[in-house]
Amino acid sequence: MKKIKWIALLCVTILCLTFVFAGCIDPNAGNDDDDDKVITEKWWEDTGELSFNSEGKVKYSNITIKLATVVSGEDKDTFKSIIDDFNREYKGRIAIDSEDIGQANFESTVAQRISTKNKAPDLIMSHQKGHKYFVENKIIQPFSKDLMEQSKISIDMNDYSAGLSRYSSLGYKDELFSIPCDAQSMVVFYNKTLLEEIGKELPTNHQELLDVCQAFVERKGTSPIAWPAANQNNHWYNYVFTTAIMQNGGKLYDESTKKADWTSEPNKTAMTKAIQSIRDLVASEGVVKYAPFNDKTSDDSSQLEFVDNKALFYVYFPWRIESLESLYKTRNNVQDVTDIIGTTSVANWFAMDSSSADAGKIFVDSHFFAMSKLVTDVSKKAAIMEFIKWFTQRTDVCKKWASTGHITACKLVGDTDEYKNDAYCQRYLNNFYPDIDNLVSMGLTSHYNTVLSHIKTLGYETLSNTAADIESKLASIQKSFNDEIAMNK
């Protein structure tokens, strides 16, 4: 028995000592969050050689590209038909085999597949927010400038929206990791007839919005804005609340440290203004009374409010247009809704200072293309670049893709008259996103989950509860945010 006791004492001592000294090891030493890193060691390969045809263009012979896309909702069918178009055009040369994976676990699924080399896709089309995560974990490889020269397929970031293309390097100097494709966010439908009834014009800034809403409430008595159901999913927080913060000049996180810095100026004022601007609209106390955003039980019921002419504005994603219009037609027994349903955007809605440069910002999610690190054959890489160029820079393709509510990120297309005068764009997209240079997305942080969950917590705690002390909430949620980031290095 005595021996066992001594051994036990020894183990406990060792345990305690290691506990004490463990704090001295810092695994984060050596991780720098500098956004201007240089790649020292490549984690991808180049094999094979390009072959050219008589015209000097790259010759492809039966290359299959596995594409993993996050497009899996109502826009899935349009995407499939675009892919079929490509496959038809490049028959015998390049075939795209696309698979859709839901956005809830897209990043974890694709990362796992590529790292275990099991059913790994070659080309990824997903939301920008996850791409920094991909590069941090060495899932994707950059598009080589040399290869672009060799194959004469060049994709220049200057041709793309300034707001989005600034993320393409993903923090590595002079590298091109992701190519922006499109953008989408929450948009606004409004009832033209009702607007006329209350004798107002479309609001161009926050104060005007409040006036319009007040007038509507006094006249009609129902809530003027049909929000999406904030208690069913996170979209409201991910798009509307973030837009409000952007429009007031707020930063979700500090770009150099990746930490949340909400308690020091000027960010503190920006965040407070953002919260206040939404409280003006949704809090039940105050001058005007509007329905809070978290009493809807489903997106369908909020849509119903608009369709039954109880709400003036309907805030939702653009891909519901068809179903919205058909539902309106059936319920109100009209044939044509072009004069009844109008479209506008959330730009300028929340900016407390309407003259600031940030007032028109809209927080979007943008689809970007990236190439898996496992692709080695240079012909395949060239084929991938060819497909990306075809998808993002062909006007007819962009027009088709725009019909589901995704505005093109490529200025080469977006600035053409053909695109701008397309019926769909004219009626909808141009109003949804007035200036594509003003679109912002998550940016260069791999902790997108932390950002979104804490923004939701912040919104939940402060927005409908006007008694909450904004400063203390900012401090406490920021601390949780930073602790989580610290653990996750």
Partner 1 sequence: MNNLELMQREMRKSKRRKNAVGYALLAPYVLIFLFFSVIPCLMGFVFSFMQYNPIDSSKNMFVGFYNYAHLFDFTNSVSLKFWKSFATMFLFDIVMVPTLIIIPLTLAYLINLHPPGYKFYRAVIYLPSVISVSVMGIVFSKLFAGDELGFFNALFGTNIKWLSGKPFENDILRWVVIFIASVWWQTGTNFVILSGALRNVPKSLYEACEMDGGSRLQGILHVTLPNIKSSVGICLFNTLIGYLGLYGQPYVLHAVENSIDQEIVSPMMFIQYYLKNASFVNMTGYICAAAIVFGLIVMVFGTIERKVMGERKRTDKYSAAYKQSKQDVEWGLSLKGPAQDIQSVGGANNVNSIN
Binding footprint of partner 1 on the chain (CB under 8 A): 15, 18-19, 21-23, 25, 27, 105, 107-108, 111-112, 115, 130, 133, 136-139, 230-232, 294, 297, 446-450, 453-454, 456-457, 460-461, 476, 479-480, 483-484, 486-489
Q: How many CB atoms lie within 10 A of CB 125?
A: 24
Could you give phi then psi for residue 14, rounded to 5 degrees?
A: -60, -45
Shortest distance, position 415 Cβ to partner 1, whole Å = 35
Shortest distance, position 460 Cβ to partner 1, whole Å = 4
The smaller minimum CB distance to partner 1, of residues 173 and 479, is found at 479
The smaller minimum CB distance to partner 1, of residues 122 and 422, is found at 122
The smaller minimum CB distance to partner 1, of residues 30 and 56, is found at 30
* β-bridge mates for residue 227, sequence order: none
The smaller minimum CB distance to partner 1, of residues 107 and 182, is found at 107
Shortest distance, position 187 Cβ to partner 1, whole Å = 23
Shortest distance, position 105 Cβ to partner 1, whole Å = 7
Copy the structure tokens of residue 365: 């999610």
DSSP string, 469-480: -HHHHHHHHHHH
DSSP string, 273-337: HHHHHHHHHH-SSSSS----TT--S-HHHHHHHHHTT--SEEEE-GGGHHHHHHHHHHHHT-S--
The smaller minimum CB distance to partner 1, of residues 181 and 463, is found at 463
Shortest distance, position 487 Cβ to partner 1, whole Å = 5
Shortest distance, position 319 Cβ to partner 1, whole Å = 24
Nearest CA to 129 among 53, 212, 238? 238
Torsion of CA 392, 347, 357, 168, to 10 degrees: -20
The smaller minimum CB distance to partner 1, of residues 101 and 440, is found at 101
Label the pairing between strands 140-141 and 365-372.
Answer: antiparallel
C-beta of residue 281 within 8 angstroms of C-beta of residue 290: yes
What is the rounded distance in angstroms from the CA atom of residue 97 to the CA atom of residue 351?
44
Shortest distance, position 454 Cβ to partner 1, whole Å = 8
The smaller minimum CB distance to partner 1, of residues 87 and 457, is found at 457
